[in-house]
Amino acid sequence: MKTNISNLMNLVSEYERNFNMADGNLREHIYSTTIEELDGRKNVIEDFKQDFADEFEEYNELFAKIQAAKKIIAKKNNELTLSNGETIADALISINLLRKKMYLMESFLNYKNSKRRVTEVNNSYFESKEVNFDVAKIKEEYTKIQEQIQNLEFEISKLNSIEFEVEW
């Protein structure tokens, strides 16, 4: 079957949705219910043995498909390289760390210099607080990080669309 990483990720998402539903169905059908009379006669109220068996088989099939697809994605993420020589897996780690740094810088930009008057019984003064960084440099660094992330994500997107052959 010819596919690409993007299609495999979409397929995994679909399988995982079905996998989660199968999990819920299995839990609903764990028990069958019977009424046992004192004389030993049994009346089946709810019989979920076959339902459970069928759903467990479907659950195991989905598990195997998810596992196989994720292994292929991981393998391709470690094989395909960006123009800077990083694999997709390396770039994803870089993006994650760059985002953390970017969010920190974004929070820095919310801090402003302040000045407030303090009045005490015998004294009055101003308390000033000044940020310990150059706002322009932080903004510049923030913008550079955004560009780096966008470039990495664009290259990953291009690599994710490269078709390859897989066998299930």
Say whether pLDDT at 47 is over 80.
Answer: yes
Q: What percentage of the chain carries pLDDT values higher than 70?
A: 100
Could you tell me if 21 and 94 lie in one domain? no
Same domain, 67 and 92: no
- Residue 19: predicted pLDDT: 97
Q: Are residues 22 and 58 in the same domain?
A: yes
Lowest mean pLDDT among 18-22, 34-38, 90-94: 34-38
For the purposes of burial, counting CB atoms within 10 Å of the CB of 152, is it exposed (0-12), middle (13-18) or buried (19 or more)?
buried
Q: Is the pLDDT of residue 168 over 80?
A: no
Please give the structure tokens belonging to residue 127. 């308390």
Provide the pLDDT confidence category of residue 30 given band limits of 50, 70 and 90: very high
Q: For the chain, how many structural domains are there in total?
A: 2
Residue 30 and residue 49 in one domain: yes
What percent of the chain has a predicted confidence (pLDDT) above 90?
95
pLDDT of residue 167: 84
- CB of 32 closer than 8 Å to CB of 48: yes
Q: Is residue 27 a part of any domain in this protein?
A: yes
pTM for the model: 0.79
**Residue corresponding to tokens 């308390």:** 127
What's the pLDDT tens digit per position in 56-85?
A: 999 999 999 999 999 999 999 999 999 999
Determine contact, residues 151/108, Cβ cutoff 8 Å.
no
Q: Which domain holds residue 22?
A: 1-79
Shared domain for 124 and 69, answered yes or no, is no
- What single-letter DSSP state applies at residue 122? S
34 and 62 fall within a common domain: yes
166 part of a folded domain = no
> Residues 85, 75: one domain?
no
Lowest mean pLDDT, pick from 105-109, 121-125, 139-143: 121-125
**Does residue 91 share a domain with residue 34?**
no
pLDDT tens digit string along 116-125? 999 988 889 9
Last-in-domain residue among 79, 104, 128 = 79
Boundary (domain end) residue, out of 49, 79, 109: 79
Mean pLDDT, the chain, rounded, equals: 96
Q: Are residues 70 and 100 in the same domain?
A: no
Angle at 165 between CA 162 and CA 166, to 5 degrees: 120
